[in-house]
Structure 1
C-alpha cells in the first residue's frame, strides 16, 4: 500500500512538473511571438507595398495612386505596386483591403466614393473597417461660365441670391459631392437656382458653350484646356479656402455660404488593426511625398490643392465628411 502511494505521489509530481514546463514553454512562445512581431514592425517596410485603387487605369483615382505611389517608393526605398480592383463603385476595392492582413503592405487610395457608396448601398465593408494613414490633396471644384457671357463672380452671386429669372446651373448626378453642395444652396439658403442634372462633366461643358445653361460645375483640371483656350472662365470656387491655382476667385464660404463646401479629398488608408508604429512610418513618409519633385509637379499640373493631414487629423476629417453625406442621404429616404 505504501509502495502504491509512493508511485501515486511520484506521478502527481511529474504531472505538475510537466504542466509547469508547458506553461513556461507557452510563455516563451508568446514572448518569442511578441519579439518576432516587434522585429517585423521595426523592420517595416522590408518588402513591396501594394496600393489598391477603385478606378480603372487612367481615371483620377488611378493616376493619383500611381503618382503618389511612385513618390512613396522614392521615400521608402521599397517597390510600390498599384492594383486596380474595380466594381461596385469602390465596394470591391474596399472589401479587398479591409480583409487584407493589417501589416502595412496593403493600402487603399481614398476618395469620397469610398464614403458615399456604403451610405447609398448595403456593402459588406465601410471606411470604419480601415484606419486612415494620410490625406494628401484636395480637388479644386469650381463654377464656370462661357467666356462670351457677361457673368462674373459678383453677378453670379447676385443671381443666386435672387433675380427675375432662375440661374441655370448644370449639376452633376445626385449623390455626388457637388450635387450635395447644390442641394445645400437650394434647401438651406433657398438659392434662386434651376439645377439641371447632367450625366457627366463633358455634357455640362457642352451646355455651357452652347448657351443652354448659365454655368457648370467641374473640377478645375477637367476644364483646364477650355480655360486656357479662353472658352470658359471660372467665377466661384467650392473649396473651404481659396485655391492657390486661382487665387483671385472667391469661395462660397467667404461669400456668405459657410456650409457650401466641396473639399473632395485624396489620401490613403490601411486595414483596421494595422500597428500604430507602421502607421507612423507611413504618415511620415507621405508627408515627405508632398515634397517629392515629380509628385509636386503632378498635383500642380492637376490643379490640386496640397492639403496634407496625418492619420489623426485625417480621421477627424473623414468623420466630419461622412456625417455631412449621411445627413444628405438620410434626407433622401
Structure 2
C-alpha cells in the first residue's frame, strides 16, 4: 500500500471517530432528562410493587371505610394492589409513626383523620402534618348529634336546654382526648353548654354507648351511622355543621339552633387526607396525585361520597399549597381550642401555630 493511500485511510478513520464522539456527546444524560418532564427518559418506573395504605385507627370506622373505598379505586389507576392495614392506638399516632419510619418511596402511605394536627400540642407525638406531603385532601365526614331511640330528647333544643339547666351532668361519649367528638364537646363548652364527657376507645364504641343507653348523646361521623339511622335505633337531632345534608334534608344544621356556633363550624372538623412521608420524590408524589384525582372521578367513589353526604374537599383543595394552608388553618383553630380549655399539654405557640382569628 502506498504511503499516500495509508494517510488518506487513517485520516478518514479519524474523521469517523470524531463524528461519533460528537454524536455521543449530544445524547441526553439521565440528570438532564430528569429536568425535562416531557421527555420519555424522565419517566420513572413507579409503582412496580404493591402499595400499603396505613389507616391509623381501628377497622370499621369512618376513616377506615373511606380509606378502603379509595384504595379500591387507586388499584384501577396504578395497576398494583393497594392493601389497607389498620394500625390503631394512641389517637392514630402509632400508625402515623409507622409510615414515617418507612422508606420515603411512595410504597407506604397514610390515610389519616384530623388527629395528626393535634399530636404536638396534645403531647401525643412529635409528628404533625409538617412531616408529610399531602397527596390529596379527600372528604370531610359530617358529624352528627345523636341520641338513642329510647331517649327523652326529640329535638336539639330539648337536649341543649337540659345541658344548660344541668351543667356537667348530661353525659356525652367521644372517641378519646383530642378527637373530633371531643372537640365538639369543647365547642359546646365555648358556647356555654358544659357536658360530662366520657371517653371510649373509638367513635364506633362511643356510638354503641348511646345505643346501650350508657350515655345521653354522642357525635358520630355520618359514614358509620347511616345503618343505625335506617334501622331507627338512633335519633339524629342535628348535623354539627352550618348547613343541612342533601341526603337528610329534614335534619337541622346546628347553626340553625345556635347561630353563634358558625365561627367554629366554618372549617370542616373531620378532614380525611392521603399523605406521603416527607422526602418522597416529587415525581412519585405527582404520579400518586394524578392517580388519586382520577380515582375521585370513579363512579363507585362518587356514589359512595354522595350517599354519605360527605364534603368533597378534593374539589376545593386541588394543589399542594391550598392543602397545606387548610391544614394550618385547621391547626390554628383546633389546637388553640384544646389548649384554652386545658386539654392540650403544650401551647400551640411553642410550634409557631398562630391563633386563628
What TM-score, normalized to structure 1? 0.74
Q: Whole-Å Cα distance in 1 between the matches of residues 41 and 71 of structure 2?
A: 22
Q: Structure 2: 5+ residue runs without aligned partners?
A: 1-24, 346-357
Pair 41,155 (structure 1): closer, same or farther in 2 beyond 3 Å: farther
Q: From 273, 286, 290, give the equivalent of 2:296.
A: 290
Q: From 216, 225, 237, give the equivalent of 2:218.
A: 216
Q: Whole-Å Cα distance in 1 between the matches of residues 137 and 206 of structure 2?
A: 29
How many residues align? The count is 303
Q: Whole-Å Cα distance in 2 between the matches of residues 211 and 106 of structure 1?
A: 40
Aligned CA-pair RMSD? 3.6
Displacement of 1:142 in angstroms is 0.6
Q: From 88, 110, 113, give the equivalent of 1:111.
A: 113
Pair 147,101 (structure 1): closer, same or farther in 2 beyond 3 Å: closer
Q: From 309, 316, 325, give the equivalent of 1:316.
A: 325
SS in 1 for 2:139: strand
Displacement of 1:179 in angstroms is 1.1
What TM-score, normalized to structure 2? 0.69
**Given that residues 53 and 93 in structure 1 are in contact (C-alpha distance below 8 angstroms), is that contact kept between their aligned partners in structure 2?**
yes
Displacement of 1:203 in angstroms is 6.0
Summarize deviations over 1:9-34 as a string: whole Å, max 9, x none: xxxxxxxxxxxxxxxxxx99x95335
Displacement of 1:264 in angstroms is 1.1
Summarize deviations over 1:168-197 as a string: whole Å, max 9, x none: 2413133212212211221x2222x43241
Pair 253,50 (structure 1): closer, same or farther in 2 beyond 3 Å: farther
**Given that residues 237 and 251 in structure 2 are in contact (C-alpha distance below 8 angstroms), is that contact kept between their aligned partners in structure 1?**
yes
Pair 274,117 (structure 1): closer, same or farther in 2 beyond 3 Å: same
Q: From 196, 218, 230, give the equivalent of 2:232.
A: 230
The equivalent residue for 2:143 is 141
The equivalent residue for 1:330 is 339
Summarize deviations over 1:186-227 as a string: whole Å, max 9, x none: 1x2222x43241425566556645666543222223333332
Q: Whole-Å Cα distance in 1 between the matches of residues 74 and 209 of structure 2?
A: 40
The equivalent residue for 2:179 is 176
The equivalent residue for 1:86 is 87
Q: Whole-Å Cα distance in 2 between the matches of residues 272 and 243 of structure 1?
A: 36
Q: Whole-Å Cα distance in 1 between the matches of residues 138 and 327 of structure 2?
A: 13
Displacement of 1:99 in angstroms is 4.7
Looking at secondary structure, tell me which structure has more strand per residue.
1
Tell me whether 1:264 sits opposite 2:270 in the alignment: yes
Summarize deviations over 1:202-254 as a string: whole Å, max 9, x none: 66556645666543222223333332122322111123543333233233345
**Given that residues 137 and 265 in structure 1 are in contact (C-alpha distance below 8 angstroms), is that contact kept between their aligned partners in structure 2?**
yes
Q: Whole-Å Cα distance in 1 between the matches of residues 205 and 100 of structure 2?
A: 36
Displacement of 1:132 in angstroms is 0.7
SS in 1 for 2:225: helix
SS in 2 for 1:218: coil
**Given that residues 184 and 260 in structure 1 are in contact (C-alpha distance below 8 angstroms), is that contact kept between their aligned partners in structure 2?**
yes
Counting only pairs closer than 5 Å after superposition, residues 58-207 of structure 1 correspond to structure 2 as 58-60=59-61, 61-76=63-78, 78-82=79-83, 84=85, 86=87, 89=90, 90-121=92-123, 123=125, 125-147=127-149, 149-159=152-162, 162-163=164-165, 168-172=170-174, 173-186=176-189, 188-191=190-193, 193-199=194-200, 201=203, 205=207
Tell me whether 1:47 sits opposite 2:48 in the alignment: yes
Summarize deviations over 1:113-144 as a string: whole Å, max 9, x none: 32333433353533211111111122121111
State which drifts further: 228-237 or 95-104: 95-104
**Given that residues 71 and 289 in structure 1 are in contact (C-alpha distance below 8 angstroms), is that contact kept between their aligned partners in structure 2?**
yes
**Given that residues 72 and 289 in structure 1 are in contact (C-alpha distance below 8 angstroms), is that contact kept between their aligned partners in structure 2?**
yes
